[in-house]
Structures are given as structure tokens and as C-alpha cells.
Amino acid sequence: MSGVPSLKPFLLEHFPAFIGVILAGCLGGSAAISLAASTYFSDVPMATNATVSWFVVIAAALFVANSNFLVVRGRAWAVWAMVAFFTVCLLVVLPTLLYRPHWFIYGESLFWPLLGLLLINSKGYRSMVKKLVEVRRLREAAKAGL
């Protein structure tokens, strides 16, 4: 990349995969938390269950937002945080089959993390991360030159 990269072509090419990972993280995390709350913790009083689930959803949303912010800032290692998040979502959801949840809720809870992992593994997302790392290096080089 020589000179200042143009933002519009970059966004047109990479924005769908990037926002798809964020949406899959939000939807997959909330689905996993909801399914876990209604199966593993069904004996807990509803008010306590709802309060704890709300705090866990907020923590998961902050984690997803922070990880994707680090990816935008050119930190390629933050992609592994999202991979770990989707893996944890899958590991939470898979055993709930023993509780016989509704088939649609169970399928949706599996779909979003798998979609997120698929998007992270796509060629477009990988090239986006490479370009963002390159932009970070250019930014650091320009800062060091000043």
C-alpha cells in the first residue's frame, strides 16, 4: 500500500464480513446465554436468572465490541478472541440438547457461532485483517518518523 488508502473501496469490499462477525457475535452470544439460562439454570428464580443473564449479555457485548475494535486498530491477535468467543458459545449450547430445547432455538443457537467462525475464516475477512495490520504499521511508521 503506497500513499493513503481510500476508505470507500475498502468498506465496500470488507464491511459485510466485518459487520457479519459482529452481528453473529451479538446474536450467538445472546442466544447461548438465553438457552443456558432456560436449561442449566431453570431452577433459579426468574428474577435472579434475568438479572444475571442481563449482566452476562452486557459483558459479552462489551467483549465482542472490544475485540472488533482491536481488529479495526490492526491487532490481528484479537481475531483469536472472537474465535474463542464463538467456541465458548458452541460449547455452552451443544450440551443443552439433553434438556430437549425447542428445535428452532437450539438450531439458531448453533447457527450464529458457526456463521461467525465461517466469516472469520473467509478470504475477505482474512484480507481485511491483513490490510488493517498494514495500515497500523504505516501509522506507527509515520508516528516514528515525526
Cβ neighbourhood burial of 58 (10 Å; 0-12, 13-18, 19+): exposed
Which of 123, 125, 111 shows the shortest CA–CA distance to 17?
A: 125
Q: Which residues are CB-contacts of 2 (< 8 A; sequence separation ≥ 6)?
A: none
Domains of the chain by residue range: 8-137
Could you count the other beta carbons within 10 Å of the beta carbon of residue 122?
15
pLDDT over 70, % of the chain:
96
- Render pLDDT for 50-60 as a digit per residue (tens, 0 to 9): 999 999 999 99
Q: Which residues are CB-contacts of 81 (< 8 A; sequence separation ≥ 6)?
A: 63, 67, 70
Rounded average pLDDT per 10-residue block, the chain, 146 residues:
68 90 96 94 92 95 96 94 98 95 94 97 94 91 84
